Structures are given as structure tokens and as C-alpha cells.
């Protein structure tokens, strides 16, 4: 195998352009596979075709990939893969069992450094003693972070966060009781008519997943610009979508493209809808809320555990948005993760209502729905004070027509759950059909044009 590796190094040439181009990896692999098979057949003619294929895969993993790590990268049940150092086994975070120890132990620190370099080369970046931190994407779309010794005192460390190959959809969320069809129908109506929605929640509560689930509700003829630190959103093919991601500075500190840069630039791209991965800083929030007030529909996530806490988080440092601007948000969905039982739920759905306090103009929360832990059900908490009035103003619909529309949407969602339409592109195709020919979808789903029938 070492002789074959030497032969491949000398005979398979890879240009610098191919090294940093993620799209070239499949071309390189085919060229590599063809040459490796030829070398194996020439040097060990007695090998069976099955053995040759196996050895070629091993060579590809060791020379083009991350060695034995490639095996666990293909496990759909794993969320996180962590190499701590060459003295410890690789650990993984399993969806059902939490943190687990594997039987894979890196040979030495050089091997971990090699993995870091492979990841870095794929995005045209370097990791070295001078620049010991790396944040990058694998070809698979997974996010990788590397920290070198001595910054990481145990040894070189690599952390890979895996993203779902088959993203969650609204059907999955209804089936696992994360959200109800009733709430999704309300969000659908809000998104359809360009209301602004914020998704709040704690770390790993499912904010981005919920945002992703709701995006197929956007009409297909509207331009979407998304801005993220790392690419996590996976929207249906039918959407008119331009995804943007930030870029870290090079070793000389040049070439950085920040989230604020992208946010300001997105306003020049004639977007109908703007999606911000996560709102963290005052400058980002100022541009985002200005976009809301200039007629753009905005969807974003923010770290906060309740509707009330979302208001506090937005109006205090480091975000510090003026209270009067919060009225631009029409709906706030709060996600919750029960760490003991291992499930996620929609904790609250609410709105921001203008009010007055000692300091003048203010805003207070109005929780429309809340999750009841005792019964594990979403229950109505209060009537909307702003949302339906805003919907009525922009659509011209009466309350009776709004309620009828909500019933139709709820029945369509329930039909999708019953038929198990859980693939993201299948969900997207149905939504596109709904916006093109709603009566055809209502007929297909068994929902009469008049929901009262």
C-alpha cells in the first residue's frame, strides 16, 4: 500500500486551482480511483475486484479524506465528531445516546495536523503555528473547527459539526410534536403576507432548524437573500434563493467579509425577503430593523428563552435596538430544548405590543400560544392584539376570511403529515403548486375551497 501511495503521489497531478475548488473533488476522486486501480492490478495481479475496490477506498480515505474519520462522518445519527489529541480516542455526539467514545485513536499529532490542513486547503485557507485557528466547511457541508497546540494545550484538536443530509421539514416537526399544525398555519399566513418573524431560543434549541422548516412558506416568485456565519439553511430547489456566508480574514488580516458587510450589501440586491442566521451585534440589528421599516420581510434568530426575554435581549447591550423599532416584528416564536428528556418544543408564540412606561415609548410581550409541560400540549394563552390587525390591513381580509384561510392551511398541513410528505423538495413542490394553483392543492388534499364545509 505504501508503494501504491508513492506511485499515486508521483503520477496523479492536482493543480492548486483544483485543491481549493470544492466542486473539483469528485473529478479528483475519479482520476485517483482510475490510477489506483491500475497500479493495484499491475503490482498485485492476484487480487479480486472486490478487494481492489476496498483498497482503493482505503487509499482515497487516507490520501484525499480524513482516514478512519470518514467512516463516522457517514453515520446519520451523529451530530458532532471531536478529535481532542493523539492521546485520546475520538469522541462523537449521538442523537439518541449523547457523548460516546469511539475505538478510533489518531496515530500522532502530525496526523491531526494533516487532517486540519486537508480541511483548510478545501476552503483556500492555511492553519499553522502563526494562525492556529481554523473555521471551515467540509465538501459535505459539515462545519469543521481546528485549534493547534499549544493554543489547545492537550494537542491539536478538530471538531466537526455534522448537518443533516435530509433536512427537517414541517411534517417531521408536527410528527415529533415540536410544533402543531395550528401554529404552523399561523406562521404560514404571516410569511405569505410578508410579516416579519423572529425565532428565539437557547443554544441547540432548534432555532435554525425551525427557521429552515418555515422558509418553504415563502412564495416562489420572491427573491430571498440569506446571510449566515456558516451555511446551515437548506431550502427547497423551487425558491429564488441567494445564500451568502461570511469570510474570515487571511493570515495577514485582510479579505474579511463580515455579516454586517453582507447585510448592507443584501439591501442592494433587491431582496423581497432577508434571512439572517443569527442576530448578535448592535450594527447588525440596526441594519436589520431598518430593513424591516423600509418594506423588506425579515426572518432572523436570536438567543433568548421567552418572548419577554427576547425584548430584553434586543433592547439591552450588546444589541441595544431602540424600543420603538421593535414594532417592526410581527411574530416571535420561542424554541425550547428539554435536555433531560432529549426533545425540543415550541415554547411560546407571541407578538410585541407598543406601550408606555416611565421612560416613554416602550414595548411589551403578548403571548398567543404557550407550551404546557404537564400535558405536552400547546394551548392558547391570549388573543392577538396586533397580528390580525396588521394582516387585515395589508391583505384587506376580514377576520372571518383570515380564520377561514388559517383553517385551510391547517388542513393542508395535516394532509401532508398523513401522507408523510417529509422530503424538503417535495414540501417545496407542494407549496409552489399552492401559490400557482391553490384550488388544485385544496382539491388534492381534500380541503374544500370553503373550509367551513
Pairing mode of beta strands 157-161, 78-83: antiparallel
Burial code (b: 16+ CB inside 10 Å, e: under 16) for 124-145 equals ebebeeebbebbbbbeeebbbb
Indicate where the chain has its CATH 3.30.450.370 domain(s).
71-163
Distance between alpha carbon 108 and the CA centroid of its chain, in Å? 33
* Whole-number Å distance between alpha carbons of 142 and 117: 16
Q: What is the pTM of this model?
A: 0.83
Residues 6 or more apart from 377 whose CB is under 8 A from it?
A: 371
Q: Pick the more confident residue, 277 or 18.
A: 277
The DSSP secondary-structure symbol of 452 reads T
> What letter does residue 22 receive in the DSSP assignment?
G
For residue 453, the model assigns a pLDDT of 38
CB atoms within 10 A of CB 400: 9
Mean pLDDT of the chain: 89
Q: Is the domain covering 71-163 a CATH 3.40.50.300 domain?
A: no
**pLDDT tens per residue, range 420-442:** 999 999 999 999 999 999 999 99
Please check whether residue 89 is in contact with residue 61, taking contact to mean a CB–CB distance below 8 angstroms: no
Q: Is the pLDDT of residue 228 over 70?
A: yes
Q: Which CATH architecture has domain 170-444?
A: 3-Layer(aba) Sandwich (3.40)
**pLDDT band for position 451 (cuts 50, 70, 90):** very low
**Residue ranges of the chain that CATH labels 3.40.50.300:** 170-444
Q: What is the pLDDT of residues 369-379, one digit of tens each?
A: 999 999 999 99
Confidence at 351, pLDDT banded by 50, 70, 90: very high
Gap between the Cα atoms of 348 and 368, Å rounded: 7
Residue-wise pLDDT for 279-295, tens only, equals 989 999 999 998 998 88
**How far is Cα 123 from Cα 21, in angstroms, rounded to an integer?**
7
Amino acid at each position: 500500500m505504501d508503494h501504491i501511495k508513492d506511485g499515486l503521489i508521483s503520477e496523479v497531478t492536482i493543480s492548486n486551482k483544483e485543491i481549493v475548488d470544492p466542486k473539483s473533488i469528485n473529478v479528483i476522486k475519479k482520476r485517483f480511483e482510475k490510477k489506483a486501480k491500475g497500479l493495484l492490478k499491475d503490482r498485485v495481479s492476484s487480487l479480486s475486484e472486490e478487494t481492489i475496490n476496498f483498497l482503493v477506498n482505503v487509499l482515497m480515505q487516507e490520501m484525499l479524506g480524513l482516514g478512519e474519520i470518514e467512516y463516522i462522518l457517514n453515520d446519520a445519527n451523529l451530530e458532532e465528531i471531536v478529535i481532542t489529541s493523539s492521546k485520546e480516542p475520538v469522541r462523537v455526539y449521538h442523537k439518541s445516546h449523547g457523548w460516546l467514545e469511539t475505538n478510533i485513536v489518531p496515530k500522532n499529532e502530525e496526523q491531526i495536523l494533516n487532517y486540519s490542513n486537508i480541511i483548510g486547503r478545501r476552503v483556500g485557507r492555511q492553519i499553522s503555528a502563526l494562525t492556529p485557528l481554523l473555521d471551515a466547511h467540509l465538501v459535505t457541508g459539515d462545519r469543521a473547527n481546528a485549534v493547534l497546540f499549544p493554543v489547545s494545550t492537550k494537542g491539536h484538536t478538530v471538531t466537526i459539526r455534522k448537518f443533516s443530509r435530509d433536512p427537517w421539514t414541517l411534517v417531521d416537526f408536527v410528527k415529533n410534536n415540536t410544533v402543531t399544525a395550528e401554529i404552523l398555519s399561523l406562521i404560514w399566513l404571516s410569511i405569505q403576507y410578508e410579516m416579519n418573524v423572529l425565532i428565539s431560543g437557547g443554544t441547540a434549541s432548534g432555532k435554525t432548524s425551525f427557521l429552515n422548516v418555515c422558509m418553504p412558506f415563502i412564495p416562489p416568485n420572491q427573491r430571498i437573500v440569506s446571510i449566515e456565519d456558516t451555511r446551515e439553511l437548506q431550502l427547497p430547489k423551487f425558491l429564488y434563493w441567494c445564500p451568502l456566508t461570511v469570510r474570515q480574514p487571511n493570515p495577514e488580516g485582510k479579505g474579511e467579509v463580515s455579516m454586517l458587510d453582507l447585510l448592507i450589501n443584501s439591501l442592494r440586491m433587491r431582496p423581497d425577503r432577508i434571512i439572517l442566521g443569527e442576530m448578535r451585534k448592535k450594527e447588525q440589528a440596526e441594519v436589520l430593523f431598518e430593513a424591516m421599516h423600509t418594506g423588506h420581510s425579515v426572518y432572523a434568530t436570536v438567543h433568548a428563552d421567552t418572548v419577554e426575554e427576547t425584548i430584553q435581549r434586543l433592547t439591552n447591550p450588546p444589541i441595544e435596538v431602540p424600543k420603538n423599532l421593535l414594532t417592526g416584528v410581527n411574530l416571535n416564536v420561542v424554541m425550547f430544548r428539554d435536555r433531560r428528556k432529549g426533545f425540543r418544543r415550541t415554547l411560546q408564540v407571541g407578538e410585541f405590543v407598543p406601550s408606555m412606561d416611565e421612560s416613554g415609548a416602550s414595548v411589551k410581550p403578548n403571548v398567543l400560544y404557550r407550551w404546557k409541560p404537564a400535558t405536552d400540549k400547546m394551548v392558547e394563552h391570549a388573543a392577538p392584539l396586533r397580528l390580525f390587525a396588521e394582516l387585515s390591513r395589508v391583505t384587506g381580509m376580514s377576520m372571518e376570511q383570515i380564520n377561514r384561510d388559517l383553517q385551510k392551511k391547517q388542513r393542508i398541513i395535516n394532509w401532508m403529515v398523513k401522507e408523510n410528505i417529509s422530503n424538503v423538495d417535495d414540501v417545496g413542490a407542494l407549496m409552489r403548486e399552492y401559490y400557482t394553483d391553490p384550488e388544485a392543492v385544496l382539491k388534492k388534499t381534500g380541503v374544500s375551497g370553503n373550509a367551513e364545509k
